């Protein structure tokens, strides 16, 4: 495959825009399509609508040089990359309507020899369904259009580096499709490209995140056991991990984000009988969030019994994981909301050092909240919190290992 090909990306979000910018950086003309006119206008001005280090520099440079452009309509191209969200409906069933919508929009402009790649996280069998959809609507293209699944696996905050350097798993609907997709990724990926079939590639993405979910659930389950048994879970895990073949992850206040707490349901909803452990891990990690909220409520009641007044409470951390500002799907934010709902006029300090100002939530500086509150609940192990000294006369609830040795 040569750099004279053109690419259309559908979806200019957290993955679609960085991927488009990177492809443009390799001298390939890319048009990104997004239904959101604001996103399209922003990109065409050489600006970005998401927070991701280095991305702005790429977008600005390649919009200026004409290699990257955006539009609200799909443009004909040689390669189509589908990078739209796959949320779930009620009942935790995957919703692939955005992927189907994207495919329906390109079917009329597909031509012989085109390559279509789905990157969106998808339930097993999606690529085969998409193949049937394309070849039913355009039977003359049967076996003349190539189709493959290639999941992204980048970590927000490191996207521009990981898009280039991570290994990729690529599975076509047939061998020739796999090979065409590999040739395409070779143009901009330095990591290894691993060939497989579409079903395995789809399951691989789900497996990666389900595996992490199960491992975190194990750590969270240990934290519940240790709380009852009077054992310091952080010390326990540290000691158990001294075994050369044991590597336990860290407990926290639940699992958040848009991937690990979502993707396992894509397996459970299609294979409910078989996926007992994967389903249970989801339950355990969700339960941990409820448990933390209950613990804080109980600490509040105990304080009231002991001191005859309600405590002020500091909620330390709102993001879904340490050292980021992303509050979406955050267990800590859910816990904060629960505590606020039951506040009855009590003072609650909300702390998130990675956010200066929030439109709805009133935030307090972490040092001020820590010094003033009677009960301090650490929900996210942000670096800032690690510099605080343990104060004896406070009720300190460390749910994320800020003070672990």
Supply angle C-alpha 258, 262, 267, rounded to 5: 150
Please report whether residue 327 would count as binding ligand SAJ according to CB under 6 A.
no
Please report whether residue 259 would count as binding ligand SAJ according to CB under 6 A.
yes
Q: Which is nearer to ligand SAJ, 122 or 209 (CB)?
A: 209
279: Cα within 13 Å, side-chain hemisphere: 12
CB 109, min distance to ligand SAJ, A:
29
CB under 6 A: which stretch of 97-105, 187-195, 256-264, 366-374 binds ligand SAJ? 256-264
In order, the DSSP letters of 173-240 are SSHHHHHHHHHHHTTT--S-EEEEEHHHHHHHHHHHHHHHHHHHHHHHHHHHHHHHHT--HHHHHHHH
Site for ligand SAJ in 152-191 (CB under 6 A): 153-156
Residue nearest to ligand SAJ (CB): 259
CB under 6 A: which stretch of 169-177, 204-212, 236-244, 265-273 binds ligand SAJ? 204-212
Residue 253 in contact with residue 331, Cβ under 8 Å?
A: yes
In the set 8, 197, 209, 223, which binds ligand SAJ (CB under 6 A)? Answer: 209
In the set 208, 232, 270, 346, which binds ligand SAJ (CB under 6 A)? Answer: 208
Please report whether residue 240 would count as binding ligand SAJ according to CB under 6 A.
no
Report CA 26 to chain centroid distance, whole Å: 26
Residue 259 is among the residues annotated as catalytic for this protein: yes
Buried b (16+ CB within 10 A) or exposed e, 345-372: ebebbbbbbbbeeeeebebbebeebbee
Please report whether residue 221 would count as binding ligand SAJ according to CB under 6 A.
no
Alpha-carbon distance of 337 to 360, in angstroms, equals 12
Please report whether residue 16 would count as binding ligand SAJ according to CB under 6 A.
no
In the set 71, 200, 250, 310, which binds ligand SAJ (CB under 6 A)? Answer: 250
Q: Which is nearer to ligand SAJ, 133 or 224 (CB)?
A: 224
Identify the active-site residue in 150, 253, 259, 400.
259
Judged by CB under 6 A, the number of residues near ligand SAJ is 18
Site for ligand SAJ in 292-321 (CB under 6 A): 320-321
Please report whether residue 252 would count as binding ligand SAJ according to CB under 6 A.
yes
In the set 134, 159, 193, 260, which binds ligand SAJ (CB under 6 A)? Answer: 260
Q: Which is nearer to ligand SAJ, 33 or 154 (CB)?
A: 154
Residue 232 in contact with residue 226, Cβ under 8 Å?
A: yes
Of 146, 200, 198, 201, nearest in space to 168 by CA: 201
Q: What strands, in cross-sheet order, belong to the sheet with 348-351?
A: 348-351, 313-316, 375-378, 395-398
Query: From its phi and psi, is residue 399 left (phi > 0), alpha (psi between -120 and 50) or beta?
Result: alpha
In the set 106, 214, 255, 292, which binds ligand SAJ (CB under 6 A)? Answer: 255
Residue 229 in contact with residue 222, Cβ under 8 Å?
A: no
Of 264, 250, 275, 259, nearest in space to 207 by CA: 264
Residue 205 is among the residues annotated as catalytic for this protein: yes
User: 224: buried, middle or exposed (CB in 10 Å: 19+, 13-18, 0-12)?
Assistant: middle
Active site amino acids:
205, 259
What does the binding site for ligand SAJ look like in residue numbers (CB under 6 A)? 153-156, 208-209, 212, 216, 249-250, 252, 255-257, 259-260, 320-321
């Amino acid at each position: 495959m040569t750099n004279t090909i053109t690419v259309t990306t559908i979806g200019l979000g957290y993955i679609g825009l960085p991927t488009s910018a990177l492809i443009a950086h390799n001298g390939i003309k890319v048009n990104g399509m997004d239904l959101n006119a604001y996103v399209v206008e922003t990109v065409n001005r050489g600006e970005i609508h998401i927070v991701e280090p280095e991305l702005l520099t790429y977008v600005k440079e390649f919009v200026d040089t004409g290699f990257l452009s955006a539009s609200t309509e799909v443009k004909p191209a040689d390669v189509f990359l589908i990078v739209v969200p796959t949320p779930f409906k009620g009942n935790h069933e995957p919703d692939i309507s955005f992927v189907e919508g994207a495919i329906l929009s390109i079917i009329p402009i597909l031509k012989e020899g085109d390559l279509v790649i789905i990157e969106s996280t998808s339930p097993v069998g999606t690529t085969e369904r998409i193949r049937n959809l394309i070849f039913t609507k355009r039977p003359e293209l049967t076996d003349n259009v190539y189709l493959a699944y290639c999941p992204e696996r980048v970590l927000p905050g490191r996207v521009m580096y990981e898009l280039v350097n991570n290994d990729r798993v690529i599975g076509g609907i047939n061998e020739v499709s796999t090979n065409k997709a590999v040739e395409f990724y070779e143009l901009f990926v330095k990591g290894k490209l691993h060939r497989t079939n579409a079903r395995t590639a789809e399951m691989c993405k789900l497996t990666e995140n389900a595996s992490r979910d199960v491992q975190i659930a194990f750590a969270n389950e240990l934290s519940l056991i240790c709380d009852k048994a009077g054992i310091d879970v952080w010390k326990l895990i540290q000691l158990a991990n001294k075994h050369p073949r044991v590597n336990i992850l860290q407990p926290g206040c639940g699992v958040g984000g848009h991937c690990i707490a979502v993707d396992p349901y894509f397996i459970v909803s299609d294979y409910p009988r078989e996926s007992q452990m994967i389903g249970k891990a989801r339950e355990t990690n969700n339960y941990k969030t409820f448990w933390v909220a209950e613990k804080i409520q109980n600490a509040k009641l105990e304080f009231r019994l002991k001191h005859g007044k309600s405590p002020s409470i500091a909620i330390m951390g709102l993001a879904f994981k340490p050292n980021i500002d992303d509050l979406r799907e955050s267990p800590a934010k859910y816990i904060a909301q629960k505590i606020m709902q039951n506040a009855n006029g009590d003072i609650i300090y909300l702390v998130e050092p990675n956010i200066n100002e929030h439109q709805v939530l009133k935030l307090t500086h972490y040092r001020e909240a820590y010094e003033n509150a009677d009960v301090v609940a650490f929900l996210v192990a942000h670096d800032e919190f690690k510099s605080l000294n343990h104060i004896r006369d406070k009720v300190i609830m460390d749910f994320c290992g800020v003070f672990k040795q």
